[in-house]
C-alpha cells in the first residue's frame, strides 16, 4: 500500500473511505424544477470512477419551499427526489466511492432564478446586497417549521441511501443566525454567541435524532466572515466545540459569503488554517477546503495533521479523474483504475515517466524549457 497521505484510507464511524480526497459540491446547476438531470448523476459517477473517496452532492439541497431557489438547487423537501437519490448513490457505490449530501435553508441568500417578490426569511430584516432579496424576520413559528423541514429532508436522504449528511451554513440561514453581522435580534435567538447558536443547534439536534447513529453528520461552517463585526476564527473554534458536544462528527471549514463587504485574503490553501485550528483545538475531524489543487497540497495537509480530508472542487470540474491523475504524477502506480480505463493508466504512467526522464537528461528542465532551448529562446 502506498505511503502517500493523499491515498491513505480514513474511517469515520462506519464510513470507510479509500483515500483523503473529498470532492466538494462545486458543481454546475444540473437540476430541473428541483429534480436532478441525468447529467447531474453522471457528473458524480464520473468522479467516483476518477478515484475520489467521497463526493458531496447537491451544492445544497434546499429543505423548504420557502427557501429561495438558487443556482438549480435540488428540492430535498419533495418525496419525488428519493428514487433519484437512491439511483445516484447506488451508482457512486458501484465505483468504490461514498456519497454525502448538503442540506440547507438559504435564508436571505438567493440566486439567478429567484423573483424578488417571493418572501424569504432571515434572522433580521437586512437586505441581501449581492442578490437583492428583502427578507422578513423569521418568527418563532417560522423557526419551528424549518427545524421540522430539516429533519424531514434528512429522512428522505436516509431512504435515498446517502452515506452521510452535511448541514450547510456557508452564508445560508445557519450563518445568518450565528453571525453578529447578520443577526441583530434581541430575543433568545440573538445577542450572545450562545443565543445566536440556539437555532442552528435546534436544527442539528432534530437532524441527529432521525439520522442513523452509525453514519456521520458534518457541519459546514464559515470560519471567518472576513468583515469587521463578523465571525472570527476564534468564534469558529467555539462554534465547532458546541457542535461536537451536540454530536457532530466532522466540521467542513470554509469562510465568507455572509457580507458583500468581506475582504478575504486569498492564496494557496488559504482556508486550511481554519481546519487546522478546529481539528487540533477541538479534537474533531475536519475537512480543509479552498485552493487545494495538487497532490502535494493534500499530502502536506494530511501529513502535518492539519485536516483529515481535503475538498477539491474546481479541479474536479476540469477533470473528474483528478485523483487518479495526481496519484500517477507522484509515481503511485498501485491505485486501481476502472477496468475500462486501464489502457489509459498504462499510457499515462509511461508518458509521465518519459517526461521525467527527459527532464533529468536536460538538467531538470521542463518540456517547455527544453523546447525554448532548442529554439534558442
Residue 95 annotated in active site: no
DSSP string across 271-333: THHHHHHHHHHH---EEE-SS--SHHHHHHHHHTTS-SEEE--HHHHH-TTHHHHHHHHTT--
Would you say residue 50 has pLDDT above 90? yes
pLDDT of residue 158: 97
Helix extents (H) in 160-229: 173-178, 193-196, 198-210
- Shared domain for 315 and 350, answered yes or no, is no
User: Does residue 361 share a domain with residue 279?
Assistant: no
Q: Do residues 292 and 351 both lie within one domain? A: no
Instruction: Count CB atoms within 10 A of the CB of residue 220.
Output: 27
Both 231 and 136 in one domain: the answer is yes
Q: Are residues 292 and 329 in the same domain?
A: yes
Q: Which domain holds residue 327?
A: 5-333
Residues 182 and 213 in one domain: yes
- Same domain for 220 and 106: yes
The predicted-structure confidence for 145-196, as pLDDT tens digits, reads as follows 999 999 999 999 999 999 999 998 777 888 899 999 999 999 999 999 999 9
We report the CATH number of the domain holding residue 64 as: 3.20.20.70
Same domain, 317 and 342: no
Kindly report the average pLDDT of the chain as a whole number.
Answer: 88
Query: What predicted TM-score, i.e. pTM, was given to this entire model?
Result: 0.90
Which of 17-26, 62-71, 167-176, 324-333 has the weakest average pLDDT?
A: 62-71
Q: Could you list the beta-strand ranges (E) of 123-238.
A: 136-137, 164-168, 217-222
* Residue-wise pLDDT tens digits, 85-141: 999 999 999 999 999 999 988 887 765 444 554 568 888 988 765 556 678 899 999
**Residue among 172, 224, 297, 316 flagged as catalytic:** 172
> Mapping DSSP to helix (H, G, I), strand (E, B) and coil, where does residue 178 land?
helix
Query: Does 286 share its domain with 351?
Result: no
* Domain match, 363 and 321 both: no
Domain total for the chain? 2
Beta strand ranges found along the chain (DSSP E): 10-12, 15-17, 21-23, 31-32, 35-36, 54-62, 98-104, 121-122, 136-137, 164-168, 217-222, 250-254, 286-288, 309-311
Is there a single domain that holds both residue 307 and residue 252?
Answer: yes
353 and 253 part of one domain: no
Residue whose entry in the numeric block shows the C-alpha cell 447506488:
90
Residue bearing the bigger pLDDT, 120 or 52: 52
The 10 Å Cβ neighbour count of residue 305 is 11
Residue with cell 442539528: 204
Q: pLDDT digits over 274-332, tens only?
A: 999 999 999 999 999 999 999 999 999 999 999 999 999 889 989 999 999 999 999 99
Amino acid at each position: 500500500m502506498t505511503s502517500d497521505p493523499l491515498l491513505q484510507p480514513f474511517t469515520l464511524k462506519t464510513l470507510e473511505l479509500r483515500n483523503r480526497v473529498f470532492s466538494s459540491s462545486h458543481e454546475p446547476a444540473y437540476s430541473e424544477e428541483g429534480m436532478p438531470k441525468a447529467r447531474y448523476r453522471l457528473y458524480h459517477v464520473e468522479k467516483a470512477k476518477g478515484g475520489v473517496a467521497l463526493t458531496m452532492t447537491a451544492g445544497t439541497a434546499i429543505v423548504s419551499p420557502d427557501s429561495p431557489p438558487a443556482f438549480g438547487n435540488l428540492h430535498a423537501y419533495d418525496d419525488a427526489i428519493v428514487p433519484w437519490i437512491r439511483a445516484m448513490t447506488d451508482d457512486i457505490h458501484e465505483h468504490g466511492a461514498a456519497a454525502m449530501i448538503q442540506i440547507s435553508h438559504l435564508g436571505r441568500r438567493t440566486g439567478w432564478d429567484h423573483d424578488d417578490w417571493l418572501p424569504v426569511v432571515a434572522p433580521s430584516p437586512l437586505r441581501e446586497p449581492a442578490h437583492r432579496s428583502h427578507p422578513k424576520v423569521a418568527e418563532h413559528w417560522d423557526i419551528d417549521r424549518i427545524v421540522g423541514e430539516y429533519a424531514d429532508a434528512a429522512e428522505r436522504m436516509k431512504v435515498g441511501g446517502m452515506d452521510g449528511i452535511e448541514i450547510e451554513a456557508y452564508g445560508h440561514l445557519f450563518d445568518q443566525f450565528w453571525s453578529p453581522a447578520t443577526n441583530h435580534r434581541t430575543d433568545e435567538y440573538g445577542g450572545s454567541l450562545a443565543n445566536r447558536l440556539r437555532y442552528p443547534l435546534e436544527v442539528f439536534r432534530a437532524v441527529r435524532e432521525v439520522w442513523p447513529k452509525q453514519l456521520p453528520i458534518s457541519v459546514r461552517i464559515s470560519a471567518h466572515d472576513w468583515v469587521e463585526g463578523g465571525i472570527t476564527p476564534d468564534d469558529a473554534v467555539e462554534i465547532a466545540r458546541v457542535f461536537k458536544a451536540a454530536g457532530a462528527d466532522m466540521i467542513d471549514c470554509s469562510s465568507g459569503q455572509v457580507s458583500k463587504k468581506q475582504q478575504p485574503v486569498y492564496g494557496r490553501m488559504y482556508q486550511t488554517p481554519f481546519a487546522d485550528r478546529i481539528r487540533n483545538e477541538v479534537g474533531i475531524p475536519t475537512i480543509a477546503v479552498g485552493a487545494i489543487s495538487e497532490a502535494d497540497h493534500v499530502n502536506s495537509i494530511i501529513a502535518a495533521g492539519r485536516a483529515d480530508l481535503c475538498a477539491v472542487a474546481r479541479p474536479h470540474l476540469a477533470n473528474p479523474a483528478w485523483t487518479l491523475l495526481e496519484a500517477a504524477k507522484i509515481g503511485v502506480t498501485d491505485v486501481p483504475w476502472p477496468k475500462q480505463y486501464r489502457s489509459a493508466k498504462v499510457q499515462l504512467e509511461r508518458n509521465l515517466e518519459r517526461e521525467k526522464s527527459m527532464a533529468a537528461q536536460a538538467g531538470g528542465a521542463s518540456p517547455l524549457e527544453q523546447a525554448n532551448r532548442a529554439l534558442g529562446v
